[in-house]
């Protein structure tokens, strides 16, 4: 019989939330003046998503948001992180807003506030308006300028009622999965373009932060959500493996937190990518614009990364957890090999390792002292199915959440200023290139009827949210 896990108690002000993103849940892709985003185009391109599935309907949150907010309230959540669809608000990525698009988010925010749930707005969760991609996308500087205009529009519309703001979600995925490996929209495989995209995403964050602050009350908080990797060497005592760690850490982490937190790209990154680019697209004033003081930092964590040195001439499967492609999302790192990390795995094939979350939190506690942290995504996909009574029991997810929330509480005890946790995700949804195959939701969605059924993990998490305590549970 496994030993029970003892109760863990959180600070009273800790936020207990769930997170979603617009394209994954909203549907209604042709309503209210919305025009295609790169994910509409990508998902409608044969062979790009599992089963050719799209987000056209997703889980129809656009029409069912009131029921979804009521469900959050019933569970006892204190916060909800959602993203705004750029092409719903500003259909071409340029020009004036479409008020019917903004009105949807106004209604959503009003519904959340009426239910006592604190909204957190993410401005960009990977769904660039297709017209901006047609003009070059994130590798072009103009996209960052357009983002600042969009940030101003949304900040003016919602800033009086929404206090917590996030500029970008996981810019690493936007840059390197979108423009290097091509497994995400827009599906380009251009290493130099991916590095340009990373810089212009950084610039968009900086310019967007300034735009938000000019449009909103000073009390509001502006952050960014980074999927910073915990990169570990296969052989900790091997200098070549440690050099591989440095290279991947620069490409996963330093390329964003360097300019955002310190105002400079790591010299080791510039050297490692010098055969690809001279970084001349970093213009005078860019780093100043990017290096805006943050009010908080969002961290997204799922699994650690294990690397070693490799022979650059030897090609084979890349076990980095970021989808199958003949093209790498790691420009300039052909001499690095990725390895499957040990331990139990989720349906994504990702190993379950809460120590990585603790390590990540403590790293940023040291690197950005005094900066409040939020876990803006953490969760797991499992092959959830209703039983004969229609209930969905997911003990594996409960164990996953208990382990990772315990790691958060341990980090708080070690001095980290972690102020909230957003479970990924509230609902089963469109999981990007995986279509509807992978279920991350705490709430089960029957994709045929769109009926919502809270899984046992949702009930467990709701109890944690209401009590501030992780209920004792047994690993199974």
Active site residues: 170, 377
Q: How far is CA 134 from CA 9, 261, 322, in A?
A: 50, 31, 25
C-beta atoms surrounding 21 within 10 Å: 28
CA angle 332, 338, 342 (to 5 degrees): 160
What does residue 445 show for φ and ψ, rounded to 5 degrees?
Answer: -120, 125
Q: Please classify residue 212 by burial: count the beta carbons closer than 10 Å to its beta carbon, then call 0-12 exposed, 13-18 middle and 19+ buried.
A: buried
Taking the C-alpha atoms of residue 198 and residue 195, their distance in angstroms, rounded to an integer, is 5
Q: Which helix (H) or strand (E) holds 452?
A: strand 452-454
Q: Are 61 and 27 in contact (CB under 8 A)?
A: yes
CA–CA separation, 330 vs 233, rounded Å?
16
Neighbours of 5 (CB within 10 A): 16
Instruction: List helix spans (H) across 136-224.
Output: 141-158, 171-172, 178-179, 191-215
CA distance 161 to 419: 20
| Residue entry with tokens 């614009």 | 289
CB proximity list for 338: less than 8 A, separation 6 or greater: 305, 306, 307, 318, 319, 320
Pairwise CA distance, residues 193 & 410, whole Å: 40
């Amino acid at each position: 019989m496994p030993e029970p896990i003892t109760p863990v108690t959180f600070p009273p002000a800790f936020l207990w939330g769930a997170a979603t993103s617009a394209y994954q849940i909203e549907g209604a892709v042709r309503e209210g003046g919305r025009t295609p985003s790169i994910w509409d185009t990508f998902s409608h391109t044969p062979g790009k998503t599992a089963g050719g599935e799209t987000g056209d309907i997703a889980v129809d949150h656009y029409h069912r948001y009131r029921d979804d907010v009521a469900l959050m309230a019933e569970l006892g959540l204190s916060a909800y992180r959602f993203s705004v669809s750029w092409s719903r608000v500003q259909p071409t990525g340029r020009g004036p807003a479409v008020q019917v698009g903004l009105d949807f988010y106004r209604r959503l925010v009003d519904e959340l506030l009426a239910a006592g749930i604190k909204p957190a707005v993410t401005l960009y969760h990977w769904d660039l308006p297709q017209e901006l991609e047609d003009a070059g996308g994130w590798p072009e500087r103009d996209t960052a300028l357009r983002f600042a205009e969009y940030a101003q529009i949304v900040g003016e519309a919602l800033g009086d009622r929404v206090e917590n703001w996030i500029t970008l979600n996981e810019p690493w995925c936007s840059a390197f999965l979108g423009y290097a490996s091509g497994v995400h929209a827009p599906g380009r495989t251009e290493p130099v373009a991916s590095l340009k995209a990373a810089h212009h995403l950084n610039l968009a964050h900086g310019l967007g932060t300034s735009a938000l602050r000019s449009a909103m009350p000073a009390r509001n908080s502006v952050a960014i959500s980074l999927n910073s990797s915990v990169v570990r060497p296969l052989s900790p005592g091997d200098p070549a493996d440690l050099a591989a760690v440095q290279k991947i850490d620069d490409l996963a982490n330093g390329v964003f937190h360097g300019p955002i937190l310190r105002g400079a790209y790591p010299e080791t990154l510039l050297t490692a990518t010098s055969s690809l680019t001279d970084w001349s697209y970093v213009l005078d004033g860019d780093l100043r614009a990017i290096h805006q003081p943050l009010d908080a930092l969002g961290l997204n964590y799922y699994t650690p990364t294990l690397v070693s040195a490799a022979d650059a001439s030897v090609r084979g499967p890349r076990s980095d957890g970021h989808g199958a492609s003949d093209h790498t999302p790691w420009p300039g790192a052909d001499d690095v090999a990725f390895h499957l990390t040990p331990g139990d795995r989720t349906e994504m094939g990702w190993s379950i390792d809460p120590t990585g979350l603790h390590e990540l939190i403590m790293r940023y506690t040291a690197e950005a002292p005094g900066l409040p942290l939020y876990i803006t995504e953490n969760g797991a996909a499992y092959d959830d199915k209703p039983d004969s009574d229609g209930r969905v029991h997911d003990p594996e997810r409960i164990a996953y959440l208990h382990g990772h929330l315990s790691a958060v509480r341990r980090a708080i005890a070690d001095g980290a200023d972690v102020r909230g946790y957003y479970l990924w995700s509230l609902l089963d949804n469109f999981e990007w290139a995986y279509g509807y195959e992978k279920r991350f939701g705490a709430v089960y969605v029957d994709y045929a009827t769109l009926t919502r059924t809270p899984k046992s993990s949702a009930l467990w998490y709701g109890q944690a949210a209401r009590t501030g305590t992780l209920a004792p549970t047994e690993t199974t």
